[in-house]
Amino acid sequence: MTHILAIDQGTTSSRAILFDAQMKIAAVAQEEFPQIYPRSGWVEHDPADLWSTTAGVCRQVIERAGLPASQIAAIGITNQRETTLVWEKDTGRPVCNAIVWQDRRTAEFCRHVREDGQEQLIVEKTGLLMDPYFSATKLKWILDHVEGARARARDGALLFGTVDTYLIWRMTGGAAHVTDATNAARTLLYDIRKGRWSSTICKLFDIPMQMLPEVRDCAAEFGMARGDLFGREIPILGVAGDQQAATLGQACFSPGMLKSTYGTGCFALLNTGAEPVVSKNRLLTTIAYQFDGKPTYALEGSIFIAGAVVQWLRDGLKVIREARETQALAEAADPTQQLIMVPAFTGLGAPYWNAECRGAIYGLTRNSGPAEFARAALESVGFQTRDLLEAMAADWNGARAEGEGGAGAVLRVDGGMSASDWGMQFLADIIGAPVDRPEVLETTALGAAWLAGMKAGLYPHAEGFAQTWRLERRFEPGLDHGARDARYARWRKAVAATMSV
């Protein structure tokens, strides 16, 4: 068996990538699916789309590679995190659409919990803040609003899962109701220090614990994919949430190492080692990965809108036809115009955590056009990344043990937007640090493949895997300190104005 099938189920598309024995990409298949916006601030997916596109791209990639299923040693899964599904145990039929991580419908409930003084308990146990972003409040909403759902859940008739759990359940024909520690850690229900579901928080949200999946290591036996799917049964041996999978794919195994992934959103993770670091700057404490029952922790900053702002230029404003056009437009933008775009379409994530504010653009003139909008969109991602990195450096440099490296010496990047040379150069300029782009940009899928391949005995363990990481290009900062800080000060002023409306 010479190949690993990696499933990367994302917010806007499902992808399957076959990696060979040298961890090189043999074939790729991808399919987009619709986003559902029932109301302002609400975002949903049809579970049938998640499953059909995932199963479809898996079959396509095997066909494209001309590979018999007997050559696939294992399956690794990485997924959009926090997106919440509830389905019937007997039939597999979802009780409603999946509520996506971007969805803000539970903002009012979160505000009440904070006002009641319950947030600190949740932070201490989960490392997360009380925000609609996470799965628990979405699950509570489903139980509150789907007729009879809570009673059926108490009777054991309904199951909860994030996308990984739902896909595994479908792939195994309902034989496995499981998740991994990284996805569990994003639900707002998992005690990351004790390594188990919190009965205290489940009681607070009135969530029956019997509907929760079993939690396993990232590299573990998650079940066997049905033989009728791919021609033979294939073991599922690796699972991690997308940002943790990217952390693994970037080989960030040492405390102080930092990566940022640019997909629909932007997510920066800083490896903090065997002990969780409690943020004083409204970052998240989470599990980076878990092997042999021992978690490695991380600080995480989450930006809700990164690549999605380019999608907005394409689908909303219709000023571009393809995402790659933004680079040429940004280069052609009038340098005398200084548009600032705050893309708070669904609120602001870290370090602000403001669910109510909405997007804004500052500095418009009569001559502002598509080029200036494209530049402002790309720059917004760089500005938001600096927000995260400054908060991370403050938390980590204050908590790190003597001899451990400081945060932010070099930023490793990946994801679709990292392919933009203009965007990555601006990122280096605005954070004032080198930005390293690897040869393999598919780090999320690579991380999932490595987990499964390592468990199957096909790929090396962490130390050997880290030695395979290769640099494609380093972007060195070019702005002087004064210009960099002046640009960033205008961004902070724009964010403050946006949140004050």
Residue 481 in any domain: the answer is yes
> In a structure prediction context, what are the per-residue pLDDT tens digits for the chain, which is 501 residues long?
799 999 999 988 999 999 999 999 999 999 999 999 999 889 999 999 999 999 999 999 999 998 888 899 999 999 999 999 999 999 999 999 999 998 989 999 999 999 999 899 999 999 998 989 899 999 999 999 999 999 999 999 999 999 999 999 999 999 999 999 999 999 999 999 999 999 999 999 999 999 999 999 999 999 999 999 888 999 999 999 999 999 999 999 999 889 998 888 888 999 999 989 988 888 899 999 999 999 999 999 888 888 888 888 888 888 888 877 888 888 888 889 889 999 988 788 888 888 788 999 999 999 898 889 988 999 999 999 999 998 888 888 765 554 444 445 789 998 888 888 988 999 999 999 999 999 888 899 999 999 999 999 999 999 999 999 999 999 999 989 999 999 999 999 999 999 988
Answer yes or no: do 72 and 113 share one domain.
yes
- The pair of structure tokens assigned to 32 is 């987009």
- For residue 157, is it left (φ>0), alpha (ψ between -120 and 50) or beta? alpha
pLDDT confidence of residue 402: 47
pLDDT confidence of residue 398: 60
Residue 70 in any domain: the answer is yes
Answer yes or no: do 148 and 47 share one domain.
yes
pLDDT confidence of residue 403: 46
Answer yes or no: do 187 and 276 share one domain.
no
- State the DSSP code for 360: E
Boundary of a domain, candidates 194, 211, 241 = 241
Cβ–Cβ under 8 Å, residues 259 and 411: yes
Residue 56 in any domain: the answer is yes
Cβ–Cβ under 8 Å, residues 379 and 333: no
CB atoms within 10 A of CB 157: 17
Amino acid at 100: V
Single pTM value for the model? 0.86
List Cβ<8 Å contacts ≥24 apart for 200-206: 200/121, 200/125, 201/121, 201/122, 201/125, 201/126, 201/136, 204/113, 204/118, 204/121, 205/136, 205/137, 205/139, 205/140, 206/140, 206/143, 206/150
Q: At what angle do helices 481-500 and 370-399 cross, to 10 degrees?
A: 100
Answer yes or no: do 215 and 257 share one domain.
no
Answer yes or no: do 220 and 95 share one domain.
yes
Say how far residue 248 (Cα) sits from the centre of its chain.
Answer: 13
- 197-248 pLDDT, tens digit each: 999 999 999 999 999 999 999 999 999 999 998 889 999 999 999 999 999 9
Residue 459 in any domain: the answer is no
pLDDT confidence of residue 429: 94
Domain count, the chain: 2
pLDDT confidence of residue 401: 52
Boundary of a domain, candidates 214, 241, 268 = 241
Residue 261 in any domain: the answer is yes
φ/ψ of 226, rounded to 5, equals -60, 145
Residue 444 in any domain: the answer is no
Structural domain span for residue 302: 251-438+470-501
pLDDT confidence of residue 322: 81
pLDDT confidence of residue 351: 86
Say how far residue 226 (Cα) sits from the centre of its chain.
Answer: 27
**DSSP-derived pairing of the beta strands 411-414 and 435-438:** parallel
Answer yes or no: do 152 and 278 share one domain.
no
Answer yes or no: do 362 and 418 share one domain.
yes
Answer yes or no: do 183 and 216 share one domain.
yes
pLDDT confidence of residue 400: 57
Burial 432-441 (b: 16+ CB within 10 A, else e): bbebbbbebb
Residue 246 in any domain: the answer is no
Residue 446 in any domain: the answer is no
Q: At what angle do helices 107-115 and 119-126 cross, to 10 degrees?
A: 100
Sheet holding 234-241, edge to edge: 25-32, 13-19, 3-9, 72-79, 234-241, 224-225
User: What is the domain-level CATH number for residue 264?
Assistant: 3.30.420.40
Answer yes or no: do 331 and 385 share one domain.
yes
Answer yes or no: do 7 and 50 share one domain.
yes
- Integer Cα distance of 425 and 422 in angstroms: 5
Answer yes or no: do 194 and 290 share one domain.
no
Answer yes or no: do 356 and 212 share one domain.
no
Boundary of a domain, candidates 216, 241, 266 = 241
